[in-house]
Amino acid sequence: MTFRQVLDQGYVRLVNHMGSDLSVVNAARVSYAKESSALSERDIRLIAFLAREGHTSPFRHVILQFEIYAPLMVARQWWKYVIGSAHMEGTGDSLEAWNESSRRYITEEPAFYIPQAGEWRSKPENSKQGSGEVLPAESGVKLTAELKEYIELGIQKYEEALSSGVCAEQARLFLPSYGMYVRWYWTASLQAVCHFLNQRLEHDAQKEIQDYAKAILEISRPLFPVSMDQLVSLASPKE
């Protein structure tokens, strides 16, 4: 599986990957001029040891490249991992790259994430972040309708600005931002991917980015089953 639909219009697509569980093993064993030709039980124990003891550099010899289409609110949370990857204490992991579509250059019809009536959540009772229970149906219906109206007005103003000769990089100011879908390529080491998953599969992560994290896990895990089982503490997230 290389493609996974997420939310109403979003998706995660595996574009390319390099390496395997065996790549991790051989990167670790090169210190002793050793190499395995097939993954053995001894190799599996070595991967478990590397993950358990925090010897993570061998996992950075495996690379994954994804195309992601997600609301801007998800993209900006995700982007923190690229910014922080070069400063992860004790890892030195800078093997991440991010290239995103820009409305400075494209004027294709914008798409927006609009929660359905039963998807609006209350604020949590004992936390400043996250969300609580699903709001009553009547509240959800009202919120969905109001959001649609707001988005339609923004699109109208955006298109009017373009038609009147305003450049695309300024006309985009009229577009509601956080729910607008953006598309990007994310290339990262296996260690960086697993670091992202460990944080964004947690129960207190925003639900929308949890959904994307589940998609990343479901696509990646068959490629690196041993390494991901050892590196991802929530390797089997509950639906």
Of 103, 121, 200, 221, the active-site residue reads 200
Distance of alpha carbon 56 from alpha carbon 189, whole angstroms:
11
| CA nearest to 86, candidates 49, 67, 68, 60 | 60
Q: Are 221 and 49 in contact (CB under 8 A)?
A: no
Q: What b/e sequence results for 104-141 when a residue is b if at least 16 CB atoms lie within 10 Å of its CB, and e otherwise?
A: eeeeeebbbbbbebebbeeeeeeeeeeeeeebeeeebe
Identify whether 104 is a catalytic site residue: no
Residue in the block written with tokens 């296996």: 190
Q: What is the widest separation between alpha-carbon atoms in the chain?
A: 68
Provide the 10 A C-beta neighbour count for residue 202.
13
Active site residues: 200
